[in-house]
Amino acid sequence: MRIIYTKNALGKFLILKKHNLVFSRRKIEQVVSKPEHFDITNIPGKIIVSKSLDKTHVLQVVYKVYGDIMKIITFYPAEKEE
């Protein structure tokens, strides 16, 4: 499957870097290929997956699949829910 990134997702790399949070495309792609948590939203085709970063944080990735193309919409670190 081919993976593409929206302008928003590409901009997110720079925004997070300014806050000393550096993620690579490889890390994002690891989350979507082997997520620990998987949610299907009420928006058709929109999927949210997450994977642990540490004991208190996860990396969440929002994407859609169009045939054989996966479009990364955005990603963000978040606190784990208890």
Global pTM reads 0.91
Average pLDDT value for the chain: 94
The answer to whether the beta carbons of residues 74 and 8 sit under 8 Å apart is: yes
Domains of the chain from N-terminus onward: 2-79 (3.30.2310.20)
**Tokens, residue 62:** 């929002």
CB count within 10 Å of CB 18 equals 7
Q: Mean pLDDT across the stretch 65-69? A: 93
Q: How wide is the angle at C-alpha 70 spanned by C-alphas 65 and 76, nearest 5°?
A: 105
For 8-31, what is each residue's pLDDT tens digit? 999 999 999 999 999 999 999 999
User: Cα 60 to chain center, whole Å?
Assistant: 5
Tell me the pLDDT band of 1, cut-offs 50, 70 and 90.
confident
Each residue's pLDDT tens digit, 37-50? 999 888 888 999 99
Tally of CB atoms within 10 A around 12: 20
